[in-house]
Structure 1
């Protein structure tokens, strides 16, 4: 195995390819604990913990929430990989490298959502091809956050295209970029920021101040 920075990039690239293959084969089984769902629960718990303690200082609460999420979801994958690396060092020959590659591939797999995005969006496409607008409306309601009841056929298609474009960035392209650059730790950090933005990054009375840090951070990590 190559050593140094080049070897690290090659190794992360191999793990990313393995993660992509696993995602396309298996998608996101509902029975499998998923890190994004855990992130969502952690964000909700932190919001409930911090809000009453930062009354009138929601922006400070939002900064602390973002800092805690980023630290936790950088440290935990990093420590897990360090522990797995320690195990790999005690395996004979190339077995250690293959063990660590398989572990990284599994971690990358949980950060990608290409198969589910394709499958859910194609349900809308097939329904529209059949001319079944009601079925298409039900299908698109599963992948968008807006009220789909008033949408006609063209509105359903626009909603589907918009959500595919957005989720292709959030669930496929951006995680792949951060994994390629920083390994699974970079991917988990990105997903933590993106999940925060999807939950609290709104310009409404409830989240305008609390979600400001998360929204700005999401803008930053998606700038590229």
Structure 2
């Protein structure tokens, strides 16, 4: 089945360029020039969203929130904003990746490829079962306190990496390369944001984590059976 990409950007030149490049790679492309149209386009079940933050009607972060309220699909954010706080906010709201304008088309296409395979190629990982949560990597089903919890594709991948090395420290660079791809290795702010998101979902007390442990300056450890 042809994979489908939703491109949300009010810049006609960027839309046209992305449409040509994505179609040349055998992908189906849906476009939206504003936030409301983007939210409606989610009914067409895209496989990845490429989302500009500077939209004419809704702020891109608000569009991201609305997408996350109905879907866990990968979202790659595009933005001319260079401040670290903007990146952290987008990641904290559930973005899977962040590309700063102007960007190289090869770089963006590489990130789209990573996003498309982010869940489907999860290596076999044994389930994690604790007294507080359960993670079934084969079915992508997670429970905490007897209730289903919703993890994004990136959260699943990060947990899968840690689960395969459970009880051991996994360095920042290893996590970044396995979750986001070989071109990553220095974006430790990504890991900090995602670790906090995961803790809010699985830890009894996210401020005093028992399971997902930060090893300052080194990496992260998943302490689970």
| Pairwise same-fold verdict (TM > 0.5) | no
Sort the TM-score into its range (normalised by shorter chain): under 0.3
Select the structure of larger CA radius of gyration: 1
By percentage of residues, which structure has more helix?
1
TM norm structure 2 = 0.27
By percentage of residues, which structure has more strand?
2
Asked which structure has the greater RCO (Cα within 8 Å, sep 6+), the reply is 1
